[in-house]
């Protein structure tokens, strides 16, 4: 069995001993593929450091997180873009729109989002989308930018069945994480109706910790609980979920 965490910030742990323990717990749970999104220019080196330590397990992606879009976002993004020449990257992300924390930067967030979509198309890479309280705004941008090169993952999907179908119709995969294990999230009912061919798994660690560890810091090894929940919802076994979702991740990232 091979599980893939398509979205983890495991690099936030900088203590070498603790980091090695986190990786070992992943291996113990057959989670042997970790995709790492940075969030700003400062976090690029952290992503690359983890990749260097575990090169056959950790795969970097680069982008400017919408919450990191400030007045100087163009300079910040140019630094991130320059860094992509140092290592092979597998996606542009995480990018998108977040209106939970700050609605005043929406125009700049849209600009940054569109510029990074263009970058992804130039590099022939998928995008990994962050969307919080902004589905309509994100979807509008995707419709405007839609062509044969636009593809990727709708990270941390927590929307409705109707929204899920809109994402799928655009050719994107749904990134399903710990929220699917939350009793009152409603995501379980949505995921139960979505064919596994449209799903990839993620943790977004150290955030959105699944049950039974909700309330504690998340880690990539906890992806096993997400996979178990998805298997339960689809009335199948975890090996089937692992095989299909990992294959989906290979289609997205090309590795």
Domains of the chain and CATH, by start: 3-253 (3.20.20.140)
Which strand (E) or helix (H) includes residue 132?
strand 127-132
Question: 74 falls in which pLDDT band (50, 70, 90)?
Answer: very high
Q: How far, in whole angstroms, is CA 42 from its chain's centroid?
A: 19
- Could you tell me the two tokens for 242? 């692992």
Q: What percent of the chain stands above pLDDT 70?
A: 100
Q: Is it true that the peptide bond before 212 is cis, omega within 30 degrees of 0?
A: yes
pLDDT of residue 252: 98
Q: What is the per-residue pLDDT across 78-130, written as a single tens digit (0 to 9) for each?
A: 999 999 888 899 999 999 999 999 899 999 999 999 999 999 999 999 999 99
- Whole-number average pLDDT of the chain: 97
Q: What tokens appear for 13 in the block?
A: 């742990």
Rounded-to-integer distance, Cα 167 and Cα 172, Å: 6
Which residues, at least 6 apart from 237, have a Cβ–Cβ distance to it below 8 Å? Answer: 231
Torsion of CA 248, 199, 178, 233, to 10 degrees: -120
Q: Identify the pLDDT of residue 85.
A: 85
4: phi then psi, degrees, rounded to nearest 5? -125, 125
Cα separation of 100 and 189, whole Å? 24
Share of the chain above pLDDT 90, in %: 98
pLDDT digit string (tens) for 8-57? Answer: 999 999 999 999 999 999 999 999 999 999 999 999 999 999 999 999 99
| N- to C-terminal Cα separation, the chain | 17
Task: Determine if the pTM surpasses 0.85.
Answer: yes
- pLDDT at residue 49, as a whole number: 95
């Amino acid at each position: 069995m091979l599980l893939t965490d398509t979205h983890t910030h495991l690099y936030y742990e900088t203590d070498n001993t603790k980091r090695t323990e986190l990786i070992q717990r992943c291996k113990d749970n057959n989670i042997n593929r970790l995709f790492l999104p940075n969030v700003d220019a400062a976090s690029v080196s952290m992503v690359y450091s983890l990749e260097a330590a575990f090169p056959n397990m950790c795969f970097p992606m680069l982008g400017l997180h919408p919450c990191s879009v400030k007045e100087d976002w163009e300079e910040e993004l140019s630094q991130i873009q320059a860094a992509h020449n140092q290592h092979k990257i597998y996606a542009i992300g995480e990018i998108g729109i977040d209106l939970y924390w700050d609605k005043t930067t929406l125009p700049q967030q849209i600009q940054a989002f569109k510029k990074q979509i263009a970058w992804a198309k130039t590099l022939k890479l998928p995008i990994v989308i962050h969307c919080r309280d902004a589905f309509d705004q994100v979807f509008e941008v995707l419709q405007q930018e839609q062509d044969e090169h636009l593809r990727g993952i709708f990270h941390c999907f927590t929307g409705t069945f109707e929204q899920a179908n809109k994402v799928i119709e655009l050719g994107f995969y749904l990134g399903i994480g710990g929220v699917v294990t939350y009793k009152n999230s409603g995501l379980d009912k949505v995921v139960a109706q979505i064919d596994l061919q449209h799903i990839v798994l993620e943790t977004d660690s150290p955030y959105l910790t699944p049950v039974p560890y909700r309330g504690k810091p998340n880690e990539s090894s906890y992806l096993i609980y997400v996979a178990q929940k998805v298997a339960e919802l689809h009335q199948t076994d975890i090996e089937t979920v692992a095989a299909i979702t990992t294959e989906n991740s290979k289609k997205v990232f090309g590795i």
